[in-house]
Amino acid sequence: MKGNQLLKHAAFIGLLGVLIYAVCLLWRFTMSDPAIVQFHMLALKTALPGFQGFELVSIVWGGVLSFVYGFVISVVFHSLHRNCSCDVK
């Protein structure tokens, strides 16, 4: 995969991570049991270091980390599979 194409794909995966993060944040409002809400918050705090709750700074920081995680994972994946001949043309 060429460099420009790699960066586009990595950015797409990063944005997909942000979208999934947003769904996880919105999912919290569908829960009514306090124990499940507490578990959900613990899972978000574990998956995204720096996320501390539903304050604006924490939400933005979680979104930034979601993008960075997706971007880095995509770059690492493509660097490990550089010789794959399955490029779609």
pLDDT tens column, 14-44: 999 999 999 988 988 898 899 999 998 898 8
DSSP labels, 40-54: HHHHHHHHSTT--SS
- Distance, in Å, from the CA atom of 5 to the CA atom of 9, rounded to the nearest integer, reads 6
Quick one: the chain helix, strand, coil %, rounded to 5?
75, 0, 25
Residue 80 pLDDT > 70: yes
Q: What is the pLDDT of residue 87?
A: 54
pLDDT tens column, 47-77: 877 788 888 998 899 899 899 999 999 989 8
Closest CA to 48 of 37, 33, 59: 59
